[in-house]
Structure 1
Amino acid sequence: MLCFLKGMAFVPFLLVIWSSAAFIISYLIAVFFGHVNPFLPYISDTGTIPPESGIFGFMFNFSACLGALTIYTKYKMVEKQNQTCYFSNPVANLVALVLGLVACLAMGIVASFQALSLPMIHDGGALLVFICGVMYILLQSIISYKACPQWNKRSICHIRMAISAVSCTAVIPVIACASLISMTKLQWNPEEMDYTCHVVSAICEWTVAFSFIFFFLTFVQDFQNVTLKIITEINEC
């Protein structure tokens, strides 16, 4: 357990644990109160109606903050590694940072604007989360290969790329099937016309979401040897 407290490793570790808890707690509460069907609701559906909406909003906004801190720390780490031994164009690292931060901002939008009350804003935020998030982990996987073997083990690179491939494959049905659904609702009947599209998109949505979690879990070992320092400078008037 101490390895998760070494250096900055606690940041991605906490992100993974907190985000997993957010998914599970919101789902259990929504099912307990009968607000969603137990079988494959959308992630956002488990945070639409009180009391789970408050828990969903709070926990996922905090996840967005943890995600932003993790992404920024990874950016600074790669920047420092690249200065020590050049292996990648710095622009790629910067683009990854921007994509990751946009995904975190969009996650805050998803958490704050419920699917039934403001569907256009909510869906727009969700679209940004998926697209920018998948592009971020794919780009980070490529950077990892470039930093191998000095800064990354090849096995970790393969794991990250496999997770990225799963995410890229799953995000397409999420967007395609969700766009074919003609209504926004929480309770679904297998006999309804859009039910198949709902099931496919929900499966792929949960797949992408947990792919993000498993991807950030691979950062834990990297972050054990990283520390960030805040330097305060006061300029005289």
Structure 2
Amino acid sequence: MYPGYCSDTGSIAPERCLFGVMLTISAFLGVVTMFVRYKQVEALIPLEVTIRRWNKTGLALGMISCFGLCIVANFQKTVFIYVHVLGGILSFGFGALYISIQTILSYKMQPHIHGKQIFWIRLVVLLWCWFSAASMFFSTVVLHSEIHGVEVLKKLHWDPQEKGFTAHIICTVSEWSLAFSFVTFFFTYIRDFQNICIHVQVQLQEPDPHTSWPDSETRHEKSLLLAGSL
């Protein structure tokens, strides 16, 4: 259950315009980071079938999470409430699963590939993530049970004296805490990414002799999306 209180200040113009732009950029950066991490693990342990499966599953979950973030950015809670909630569930739910899988990969890759220290750091962040998610869920349940006949998800202004205010604050803090746990987890990639080199490789090929091109000098370009060296 996703209340969307982080989105309160991004529900009206012009704040929602900036909110949408920033979250869309964040989603793009998240996709790039997850893809680089995927290629890194693939290059480090290319023959381990189990790790390769975990790695592919993690990438898929990460992409879904970033897609959910785009939905949150472009469908405001006061306009498309159910679509916005769906985006939040995809973003936070699948994002937490992505962090879980990457922590498992760190455990399986230690001590030869990953040090034990980085695994324990990621495990702590993972526990932080799930604790925040659980706190947000239960506080949302309490909030909805305390307030009846009010569209809580569309409520933007709260009075400290009104019923449900405490649960609202706990839920909001938990949601921000969950978001910061995601950012912190990405920070743990910094040292890993310092050990790899990424470049785009372009190969020029001769045209197919059976294909008629108006210009005989035409060349086909084939770009490898990512070529990494460790």
Tell me the TM-score range normalised by the shorter chain: 0.7 to 0.9
Shift of 1:196: 2.4
More strand as a share of residues: 2
Q: Distance in 2 between matches of 1:129 and 1:117?
A: 19
List aligned pairs for 1:80-229, cutoff 5 A: 80-83=43-46, 86=48, 88-179=50-141, 180-181=143-144, 182-183=151-152, 184-229=154-199
Shift of 1:111: 0.6
**2:170 is matched by which residue type in structure 1?**
V
**1:72 is matched by which residue type in structure 2?**
F
Larger relative contact order (Cα-Cα within 8 Å, sequence gap ≥ 6): 1
**2:157 is matched by which residue type in structure 1?**
Q
Q: CA RMSD in A?
A: 1.9
Deviations 1:142-183, CA, capped at 9 Å, x for gaps: 101111122222111101010001111110232333354352
Q: Distance in 2 between matches of 1:209 and 1:162?
A: 15
* Structure 1: runs of 5 or more not aligned: 1-40
Q: Indicate conservation of the 8 Å contact 2:31/2:62, yes or no.
A: yes
2:28 maps to which of 37, 40, 65 = 65
Q: Indicate conservation of the 8 Å contact 2:51/2:105, yes or no.
A: no
SS at match of 2:39: helix
Shift of 1:88: 4.4
SS at match of 1:229: strand
Q: Indicate conservation of the 8 Å contact 1:174/1:201, yes or no.
A: yes
Q: Distance in 1 between matches of 2:103 and 2:9?
A: 31
Shift of 1:231: 3.3
Q: Distance in 1 between matches of 2:140 and 2:65?
A: 19
Please identify, of 63-72 and 195-204, the stretch whose mean Cα deviation from structure 2 is larger.
Answer: 195-204
List aligned pairs for 1:50-61, cutoff 5 A: 50-61=13-24
Q: Distance in 1 between matches of 2:87 and 2:166?
A: 24
Q: Distance in 2 between matches of 1:133 and 1:123?
A: 15
Partner residue in 1 for 2:6? 43
Deviations 1:81-125, CA, capped at 9 Å, x for gaps: 111x74843111111001101000000000111111111110110
Q: Indicate conservation of the 8 Å contact 1:127/1:175, yes or no.
A: no
Q: Distance in 1 between matches of 2:75 and 2:156?
A: 16
Shift of 1:197: 2.2
Q: Distance in 2 between matches of 1:161 and 1:191?
A: 39
Aligned length: 196
SS at match of 1:228: strand
Partner residue in 1 for 2:220? none
Deviations 1:36-64, CA, capped at 9 Å, x for gaps: xxxxx921112111221111111110010
Q: Indicate conservation of the 8 Å contact 1:96/1:136, yes or no.
A: yes
TM (norm. structure 2) is: 0.79
